[in-house]
Amino acid sequence: MTSHTFHLVSLGCAKNTVDSESIGQILTVNGYTHTLDPQQAGVLIVNTCGFIGPAKEESYQALADLAETKLDGQLLIAAGCLTQRYGQQVLERVPGIDGLLGTRRWMDILTLIEKLRGRQHPQPLYHLPSDAHTVGTDEGEILRASIEGPSAYIKISDGCRRPCAFCAIPLIKGTLVSRPIESVLRDAVRLQQRGVREVILIAQDTTDFGNDLGLKNGLAHLLNELAAAAPAIDWIRVMYAYPGYVTDELIETMAGLPQVLPYLDIPLQHGHPQTLRRMRRPANIDWVHHTIGKMRQTIPNLAIRTTFIVGYPGETEEEFQTLLDFAAEMRFDRVGAFTFSFEPGTTSEPFGDPVPKEVKLERLDRLMTQQQHISLAANQALIDQTLDVLIEAYGESEVGQPPLAVGRSYRDAPEIDGLVFVEQHPRLASLPAIGEIVPVKINGALTYDLTGVHASGV
Ligand code: SF4
């Protein structure tokens, strides 16, 4: 174990992964090395998630595991959303933590380590100032992105100013703070130089980008700037759009820029206006029909991903049936669905959690079973078509079967959507390389995934 080694556990969403990457970069450029073996590390860091119950428990367990085997002289730091929201509880539940680093203070990791090494007494040190004054300023050499093979997530803002009743993120992250456009563009240029083919724009709400910088249609503006600054980035993917803020200008910008994928992730959360009102979410279903209709007209082959919550307090069978009918009618390409998770401190707290667990699970099952049919039908409609696929790995193929590559098409965001299994072209000596974007002739459809043959023009 040496003092200038660190072991970092990153939990939660892609936005947290970007913060973990930034913490790692700061330590590395200051002479630290990362180790996968916690016993070899002078500094142990867990970047926690505090979003919903199961995620919190996973964070507590990761901290407890490291605290249990902690050696003399090692520092254990709890960072991220759970720490920001429940600092005191975290210390009470996991004795042995030396320091707490707030979710917006990732850039202060070195300061905290120096303070901990210099302290006179064993008391844990808090470093939780939630003031956002530094977030949004230029992060200098630190790449606010996380690279996953040929793809990278770029975090364009932090925090959120929306009033969603079930959501704890504004309690943890505070209000919206957009990054300066120049620093986002600089990240894209650096990723382009590293050969990244796809950038995925993430935030709590990408459609609100630049609002705090006085920008109207900030996301559309950013997409235009990104396409100009990083022309060699093949794919730009937009996640986490907020209903009501997908403007005509954004739709036209997405349609007009070939690098911007015809793909949008827009969590709608429900389909019944009453439920949406109780959720304090945009409840104008006509707007959803109109805007999704307009997007599908304007952006050819558009793939739409959405997210729904079932079992929200007060959700009746009639309200749920309306959601089911809405999802059947809209035929979204990709749907993620969750059961309502009670979160103390949110504006939905007074409603409690009245919908029984078995009812929530039964509704989740009905919704996802319906979606499986919709997804399979959408995939079957792609048979005999040719899609560009970003190759990310090689897969196992059965004995006597051609070797397989695995990738994603424009319809697939990493980790949450489908995959494309690519057979070797019969007249080519090998599979396409990882990181290549190649044409694939689709010859099979599964519920979420596709199969096909590499179709490069030989
Ligand atoms: S927009 Fe998303 S992050 Fe913001 S409050 Fe609503 S659910 Fe939470």
What single string gives the DSSP state of each residue in 186-221? HHHHHHHHTT--EEEEE-S-GGGTTGGGT-TTHHHH
In residues, how long is the chain? 458
CB within 8 A of 112, min separation 6: which ones?
A: 77, 99, 101, 105, 125, 127
pLDDT computed for residue 135 by the predictor: 45
Ligand 1 centre distance from Cα of residue 182 (Å): 25
One-letter amino acid at 297 equals Q
> Which residue's alpha carbon is nearest to atom 3 within ligand 1?
204
Tokens of 75: 């520092």
Q: Rounded distance, CA 394 to CA 46, Å?
A: 31
pLDDT computed for residue 129 by the predictor: 56
Q: Closest ligand 1 atom to the C-alpha of 170? A: 5
For residue 246, the SS3 value is coil
Asked which of 363, 380, 397 is the last residue of a domain, the reply is: 380
Ligand 1 centre distance from Cα of residue 163 (Å): 7
pLDDT computed for residue 133 by the predictor: 45
Q: Closest ligand 1 atom to the C-alpha of 281? A: 6
**CATH number of the domain to which 410 belongs:** 2.40.50.140
DSSP 350-406: GG---S-HHHHHHHHHHHHHHHHHHHHHHHHTTTT-EEEEEEEEEE---TTSPPEEE
Q: Indicate whether 320 belongs to any domain.
A: yes
Range of the domain at 153: 145-380
The reply to whether 297 and 195 lie within a common domain is yes
Ligand 1 centre distance from Cα of residue 169 (Å): 7
Asked which of 380, 413, 433 is the last residue of a domain, the reply is: 380
The reply to whether 122 and 189 lie within a common domain is no
pLDDT tens column, 128-160: 655 444 444 455 667 778 888 899 999 999 999
> Which residue's alpha carbon is nearest to atom 8 within ligand 1?
167
Name the DSSP class of 286.
Answer: H
Which alpha helices (DSSP H) does 8-80 contain, by range? 14-29, 53-68
- Of the candidates 379, 384, 430, 429, the one whose C-alpha atom is nearest the C-alpha of residue 409 is 379
Ligand 1 centre distance from Cα of residue 280 (Å): 10
One-letter amino acid at 41 equals A
Cβ 241 under 6 angstroms from ligand 1 = no
| pLDDT < 70 positions in the chain | 120-123, 127-141, 457-458
The reply to whether 345 and 254 lie within a common domain is yes
Ligand 1 centre distance from Cα of residue 138 (Å): 25
271, 327 contact by CB (below 8 A): yes
Q: Indicate whether 288 belongs to any domain.
A: yes
For residue 393, the SS3 value is strand
Ligand 1 centre distance from Cα of residue 173 (Å): 11
Q: Rounded distance, CA 239 to CA 306, Å?
A: 10
Beta bridge partners of 154: 145, 201
The reply to whether 353 and 423 lie within a common domain is no
The reply to whether 242 and 165 lie within a common domain is yes
The reply to whether 155 and 225 lie within a common domain is yes
**CATH number of the domain to which 30 belongs:** 3.40.50.12160
pLDDT computed for residue 166 by the predictor: 95
The reply to whether 338 and 414 lie within a common domain is no
Q: Rounded distance, CA 361 to CA 350, Å?
A: 22
The reply to whether 372 and 401 lie within a common domain is no
Q: Indicate whether 64 belongs to any domain.
A: yes
One-letter amino acid at 391 equals I
pLDDT computed for residue 54 by the predictor: 86
Q: Indicate whether 137 belongs to any domain.
A: no
Q: Indicate whether 140 belongs to any domain.
A: no
The reply to whether 342 and 213 lie within a common domain is yes
pLDDT computed for residue 140 by the predictor: 61
- Structural domain count, the chain: 3
Q: Indicate whether 193 belongs to any domain.
A: yes
Which of 52, 169, 341 most suits a substitution to test ligand 1, by most atoms within 8 Å of the C-beta?
169
The reply to whether 240 and 325 lie within a common domain is yes
Query: The pTM is what?
Result: 0.91
**CATH number of the domain to which 229 belongs:** 3.80.30.20
Asked which of 127, 158, 179 is the last residue of a domain, the reply is: 127
> Which residue's alpha carbon is nearest to atom 6 within ligand 1?
164
Q: Indicate whether 358 belongs to any domain.
A: yes
pLDDT computed for residue 120 by the predictor: 64
pLDDT tens column, 381-394: 999 999 999 999 99
> Which residue's alpha carbon is nearest to atom 2 within ligand 1?
204
Cβ 23 under 6 angstroms from ligand 1 = no
pLDDT computed for residue 139 by the predictor: 57
The reply to whether 85 and 151 lie within a common domain is no
Question: How far is CA 273 from each of CA 254, 304, 332, rounded to the nearest angstrom?
Answer: 28, 21, 19
Q: Indicate whether 254 belongs to any domain.
A: yes
The reply to whether 17 and 101 lie within a common domain is yes
